[in-house]
Amino acid sequence: MPIFAKNKALIMMSQLLYNPFKELIFDEHFCFLSGVLTTESMTVFPKWLMDHFKFGDEKIEMMDKAKSYHYEDLRLPCSVEVKKAFEELDVKIETAYKKGFEGMDALEEELLFQWTGRMVYGLLYYEMIYERDTQLAQNKTFELSETLRKRFGHFHLMLQSIVEPITFVGQKPWSFAIFPLKYSSDIFSYRDDPINLMFSFGVNGFGFTACLQDNGVIGEKHKEILDKMKGHVLHPVQFEELYARFHYSDYILQHQPEYNVESLDEHISIAIKTNGVQPVLGFWDENIFAQLLSNYWQVYGIEKEDILQFQKPSVSFLENPYSKDFYNQKRLVCRFKKRCCV
């Protein structure tokens, strides 16, 4: 095929790749990723993961708490090609998982993005369906802001990299932090925010937090503490605090991601568009952050008033508020009795 014909085909492909957020199409007859007609489906959460931790029959609530599903009942319509691609990815992730932190840390971030993205997008898909059906039941039109259409559309495009010749140029559109983690062997911990494209995953051996469309800004923002963490095994209370920091940073991030999507040779490239403007984080409100953090620390009996104490620095289990030294496992006090013992 002549070069100009190849380029024309790629340009057409980049324009024609399926984007369900253009027309808000969430239908069980169309593959969630490619848009082709199908009768196949795949689970939102990998079957091997549900089987290993036996949570398939447990329930997960939608964001407004009014609707819930069993994990094993969350399924995405998919083509044979897409299903096969994710099955092959699952084999790679499960193999790395069995090697613990070293195995997961050695994975290419793009594979982690695709694996995590499948679960986050799956939950987003069900949020869209629930919201659509709720609006229709009230004789209202299902609408989504232009900002969210663009954000979710870009996320969907990036996830298509598992089956399409898509490459990421320069700074990656995401932030991942992977670290050794100490948990009971039967515990699987995860948190998600599908609207803000956030995810955390923790098991005995390792954990990771992910911002799937921050353009690496949040990872860079917390580089100092992430560097201090290297070589240390995190306690679950530290794991929760790290995710809270990522989550709140995403909340105050004053930046609308933009991307250059181009056809080059035989692939489509995605690069971050800066327009000469550096993304910034808004004001860090310790009061709001303490409220968020207390939601994650409630299981340890830690409330907001324990985190914010008059004329004292906010409580942290990641670093000493005065010296900024990282708290290793030996210095952590697991029991919290209305005060911070550090």
> pLDDT per residue over 226-282, tens digit each?
999 999 999 999 999 999 999 999 999 987 788 999 887 788 999 998 877 777 889
CB count, 10 Å around CB of 137?
Answer: 8
What single string gives the DSSP state of each residue in 171-185?
A: S-S-EEEEE-B---T
Q: What is the pLDDT of residue 1?
A: 43
Q: What is the pLDDT of residue 79?
A: 98
Q: Output the pTM of the full model.
A: 0.91
Q: Which positions ≥6 away from 20 have C-beta within 8 Å?
A: 26, 30, 32, 35, 156
First vs last Cα of the chain: how many Å apart? 68
Domain limits of the chain?
3-284
Question: Is residue 204 a contact partner of residue 234, using CB atoms and an 8 Å limit?
Answer: no
The position carrying tokens 């990815």 is: 89
What are the residue ranges in the chain where pLDDT is below 70?
A: 1-15, 330-342
